[in-house]
Amino acid sequence: MEWKILLQKNWLEDRLVWALNINYELEFEKEEEGEWERDAVFEWFIGISYRFIRNWSAGLEFWNHHKFADATVHEHSAYFIGPTIHYGGERWWASIGFLHQLPIGQAFSHDNQEFAADGGYIFGDEHEEYYVRLKLGFNF
């Protein structure tokens, strides 16, 4: 199950755009022993972009990711920042972003201490140092 709050404010005749996305995801997974495992993710993204020529925008995005074991135990928090570029045509759009993990991550549970042992980065099976995200959309 996912819950989302999406906020956006436009200025300068829609050339400057600020956005905030808040997401909460609750996941149930049946383990081999037959018991159910609950995990949760709370994350928020904030960004600003500027349309520098027709159909093209460039911006900066910040992402904060929190993971919870059993949906209640705060395991870790990781932080990312990076540039984005966006093309928005009449029938389709595309955005690509490059996010770099900041060395200010925190591991809260004993199981995740090993992931944050590398100077504040959260690695292991949780995150990478860099993310490249491509989003495509088609207008109907």
Written as tens digits, the pLDDT of the chain (140 aa) is: 999 999 999 999 999 999 999 999 999 988 888 888 889 999 999 999 999 999 999 999 999 999 888 888 888 889 999 999 999 999 999 999 999 999 888 877 766 666 665 677 777 677 888 999 999 999 99
CA–CA gap between residue 124 and residue 20 (Å, rounded) = 28
Number of domain units in the chain: 1
pTM recorded for the entire structure = 0.85
Find the domain containing 75 and state its range.
Answer: 2-138
Give whole-number Cα distances, 110 to 101, 124, 140, in Å: 21, 14, 48
Instruction: Decide if 3 contacts 27 (C-beta within 8 A).
Output: no
